[in-house]
Amino acid sequence: MSERRYILESGQEQRIAAIIEPVVRDMGFCLVRVKILPDNGCTLQIMAEDENGNFTIAQCQALSNEISPLLDVEEPIKGPYHLEVSSPGIDRPLVRHRDFVRWQGHEARVEMTRMLDGRKRFRGVIKQVENDRITITLPDVPEGARADFELPMADMGSAKLVLNDRLLEEARREQEKNPVLDDPEITEIEQN
């Protein structure tokens, strides 16, 4: 549960992560991301998951109940804000080595903190994960052009899965195997 996050927050978000991460870890969860968004005036978004990459509604509520008083005391955000605790979602951020291993073979969008072969942005399939580097294969490269790029995780500014049909199908299959709708307030599921 204490695996290193390669992609970290900066500034105010980094301070918030430092405040809440011990609580997240003590509850048996992994912090995925802290983000301050302009939604609804100001929204503090906390993404977390359990060791299997899941995060139920009940777990979201439990974590929210634990960190909310801590944030009230520490006041890392001046002024009113909305606290949103959620799972990483289908097109999740990739922040740990295990994320890249788990989603190998899927398409990702990666932005580097520094230039690599004249570019900072890469979008392609995660081909290989070895030590602290991933190999990403870019689609539709011109003949003779390089398609595979080895990206050091330590130099990644952000990485996220790309929402596509393959990812949606895998999420649907996973949901069928492991339903996570455990909220007693949910009494009916409507499908179209």
- List per-residue pLDDT tens for the chain, 192 residues long: 678 899 989 999 999 999 999 999 999 999 999 999 999 899 999 999 998 888 999 999 999 999 999 999 999 999 999 999 999 999 999 999 999 999 999 999 999 999 999 999 999 999 999 999 999 999 988 999 999 999 999 999 999 999 999 999 998 998 888 765 544 444 443 433
Are residues 90 and 168 in contact, defined by beta-carbon separation less than 8 angstroms?
yes
**pTM for the whole structure:** 0.87
Whose structure tokens read 């503090």?
Answer: 44
Nearest C-alpha neighbor of 28 from the set 55, 47, 48, 1: 1
First to last CA, the chain: 38
For 77-140, give the DSSP string: S-S--EEEEE---TT-B--BHHHHHHTTTSEEEEEEEEEETTEEEEEEEEEEEETTEEEEE-SS
Are residues 79 and 16 in contact, defined by beta-carbon separation less than 8 angstroms?
no
H or E segment and range at residue 31: strand 30-37
The domains of the chain, with CATH numbers, are 11-86 (3.30.300.70), 97-166 (2.30.30.100)
